[in-house]
Structure 1
Amino acid sequence: MCIVPRTTMLDIVSGNLSTAGVEETLKDFWVSRPRRPHEGRKIAGVAAGIAQRYQIDPVVVRVAFVAMALCNGAGFLIYLLGWLWLAQDNDEVSAAEALIGRGRSSTPVPLTILLGLAVLPATGFFVDGGFTMVGGVLLSVGAVYLLHRGRGSLNRPPSAPEVRPVDTAESPTTRVTPPAWDPLGAAPFAWDLPEPTPTTAVPAEQPSRPPHRRRRSRVGAATFGLSLVVLAGALVASSYSAWFTAQHIIGLVVATLGLGLLVGAFRGGGRGLIGLVVPLSLAGAVLTSADFSTFDGSEHVGDVDARPVTIEQLQSRYDTNAGTVDLDLTGLPASGTATTAVEVGVGSVKVRVPASADVTVTCHTGLGSVECLGPEKGGRNNTATVTDGGTGEGGLKLELDVRAGVGEVVVRRG
Structure 2
Amino acid sequence: MNSTKRTGLGGVEDTLRNFWETRPVRPLAGGKVGGVAAAIGVRYGIDPILVRVAFVLAALYGGAGLVLYLLGWLLFPKEGDPAPGSAEPTRQPTSTALAVVLVVLLVPVVFWLTSSPSIIGLALGLGALYLVHRNYGDRGVAPAAPTPADAPQPTVPVTDNTWVYPGSAAVTAPPNETPQQTPPAWDPLGAAPFAWDLPEPNEPEEPEPQRPRRRWISFATLGLAAFFGGLAATLGARPDIALAIALGVLGLGMIAGAFLRGGRGLIGAAIPVGALAMLLAVVPPDGITGGLGNEEITPSSIEQVQPHYQRSAGSLVLNMQDLRIADGQELRTGAKVGFGDILVRVPPKVDVTARCAAEIGGVQCLRDSADGRRAERSVVDQGDDGPGGGNLVLDLTVGAGNVEVIRG
The aligned counterpart of 1:354 is 347
TM-score (norm 1): 0.63
| Structure 2: unaligned runs, 5 residues or longer | 83-91, 148-167, 172-181, 189-209
2:322 matched to 1:327?
Answer: no
The aligned counterpart of 2:406 is 412
Tell me: higher relative CO, structure 1 or 2? Use CA pairs within 8 A at least 6 residues apart.
1
Counterpart secondary structure, 2:234: coil
C-alpha deviation, 1:344, in angstroms: 2.7
- Contact kept, 8 Å, 2:61 with 2:117, in 1: the verdict is no
1:311-322 to 2 correspondence within 5 Å?
Answer: 311-322=302-313
2:247 matched to 1:254?
Answer: yes
Between the aligned partners of 1:312 and 1:404, the Cα distance in structure 2 is 25
State which of 267, 275, 292 in structure 1 corresponds to 2:268. Answer: 275
2:299 matched to 1:308?
Answer: yes
The aligned counterpart of 1:61 is 51
1:31-50 to 2 correspondence within 5 Å?
Answer: 31-50=21-40
TM-score (norm 2): 0.64
Counterpart secondary structure, 2:269: helix
Between the aligned partners of 1:39 and 1:339, the Cα distance in structure 2 is 60
- Contact kept, 8 Å, 2:62 with 2:118, in 1: the verdict is no
1:148-163 to 2 correspondence within 5 Å?
Answer: 148=137, 152=139, 154=140, 156-157=141-142, 161=144
2:380 matched to 1:380?
Answer: no
Counterpart secondary structure, 2:78: coil
Counterpart secondary structure, 2:221: helix
C-alpha deviation, 1:61, in angstroms: 1.1
- Contact kept, 8 Å, 2:57 with 2:65, in 1: the verdict is yes
C-alpha deviation, 1:387, in angstroms: 1.5
1:116-131 to 2 correspondence within 5 Å?
Answer: 118=107, 121=110
Counterpart secondary structure, 1:33: coil
- Is the alpha carbon distance of 1:32 and 1:161 closer, same or farther for their aligned partners in structure 2, counting shifts above 3 Å? farther
- Contact kept, 8 Å, 1:369 with 1:409, in 2: the verdict is yes
Between the aligned partners of 2:105 and 2:299, the Cα distance in structure 1 is 55
Between the aligned partners of 1:226 and 1:409, the Cα distance in structure 2 is 41
- Contact kept, 8 Å, 1:73 with 1:122, in 2: the verdict is no
C-alpha deviation, 1:63, in angstroms: 1.0
C-alpha deviation, 1:131, in angstroms: 5.1
Between the aligned partners of 1:116 and 1:308, the Cα distance in structure 2 is 44
Q: Deviations over 1:173-214 (max 9, x none)?
A: xxxxxxxxxxxxxxxxxx9558x7763589xxxxxxxxxxx9
2:127 matched to 1:138?
Answer: yes
Shifted more, 278-287 versus 111-120: the winner is: 111-120
2:185 matched to 1:199?
Answer: yes
C-alpha deviation, 1:35, in angstroms: 1.0
| Structure 1: unaligned runs, 5 residues or longer | 1-10, 93-102, 165-190, 203-213
Shifted more, 395-404 versus 323-332: the winner is: 323-332
Between the aligned partners of 2:283 and 2:40, the Cα distance in structure 1 is 36
Between the aligned partners of 2:389 and 2:105, the Cα distance in structure 1 is 55
Letter in 2 for 1:145: R
C-alpha deviation, 1:331, in angstroms: 5.2
- Contact kept, 8 Å, 2:301 with 2:323, in 1: the verdict is yes
Between the aligned partners of 1:378 and 1:122, the Cα distance in structure 2 is 13
- Is the alpha carbon distance of 1:389 and 1:275 closer, same or farther for their aligned partners in structure 2, counting shifts above 3 Å? same
Number of equivalent positions: 343
- Contact kept, 8 Å, 2:291 with 2:312, in 1: the verdict is yes
The aligned counterpart of 2:163 is none
- Is the alpha carbon distance of 1:399 and 1:197 closer, same or farther for their aligned partners in structure 2, counting shifts above 3 Å? farther
Between the aligned partners of 1:258 and 1:127, the Cα distance in structure 2 is 18
2:287 matched to 1:292?
Answer: no
The aligned counterpart of 1:236 is 231
The aligned counterpart of 1:88 is 78
Percent identity, aligned pairs only, is 31
- Contact kept, 8 Å, 1:81 with 1:119, in 2: the verdict is no
2:319 matched to 1:341?
Answer: no
Letter in 1 for 2:251: G
Counterpart secondary structure, 2:397: strand
The aligned counterpart of 1:402 is 396
- Contact kept, 8 Å, 1:80 with 1:115, in 2: the verdict is no
C-alpha deviation, 1:380, in angstroms: 2.6
Letter in 2 for 1:239: T
2:363 matched to 1:370?
Answer: yes
C-alpha deviation, 1:225, in angstroms: 5.5
- Contact kept, 8 Å, 2:58 with 2:121, in 1: the verdict is no
- Contact kept, 8 Å, 1:367 with 1:379, in 2: the verdict is yes
- Is the alpha carbon distance of 1:259 and 1:292 closer, same or farther for their aligned partners in structure 2, counting shifts above 3 Å? same
